Structure 1
Amino acid sequence: GGVSAKRLLETVKPKPTARFLLFRSYDSYTTNVPLARFDDDDVLLAHSWNGQPIPREHGGPVRPIIPKLYFWKSAKWVRSVTFLENDQPGYWEVRGYHNDADPWKEERYSGD
């Protein structure tokens, strides 16, 4: 279970200038996601599975599930979500991973 991205965006109402999200994890990991990719019917901020809280080894207490992007965009142990006007590459993106991370386009590395 969890909160859909659509519900979160309806509740939070980001500023019209927001174009990106930055997820920060308890272990200092970060990853960026374009707001347009987050605002999708199948995106979820998950907090439970089969009625039980997501255990730490699987990314609990909260993690985004963004099925249309490579899974490094679905950060584990999320402690904050920040809406940004400008893109801010995260942990793997500054180390050469592709910023968009579309698996159907095989966007694994920045040169792909």
Structure 2
Amino acid sequence: PTPKDTSQQSSKAKDKGKAKKIEPEKPLKRKEQIMIDEEVARILKAQMQAELEEANCKTKERKSQHSFNYELAARLQEEERGELTIEEKSRLFVELMDKRKKICKT
């Protein structure tokens, strides 16, 4: 007879094919589902609002750029005619940049 290793026997004896029973996930109750749906709706609304604000800012920026280009062209024409002084040009340019900054912030 060969000597038996008791550590191997005891582990086999303990494990009789019984595993922990895994409970299936219970379906959510109606109130819980409503709360989750509301949270998802809030998150989606916030994301959509952020995207809309970004699109609006880009639109304002494009309009501002178009307006800037138009005003710049008009000023360049005036400059060619020599109607504006350097101080007037500087003041108008600063005003234009301030307007552009305000538009982008809103």
Shorter-chain-normalised TM-score: which range?
A: under 0.3
Name the structure where strand makes up a greater proportion of residues.
1
Q: Using structure 2 for the length normalisation, give the TM-score.
A: 0.20
Whose Rg is larger? 2
Greater RCO structure (CA 8 Å; 6+ sep): 2
By percentage of residues, which structure has more helix?
2
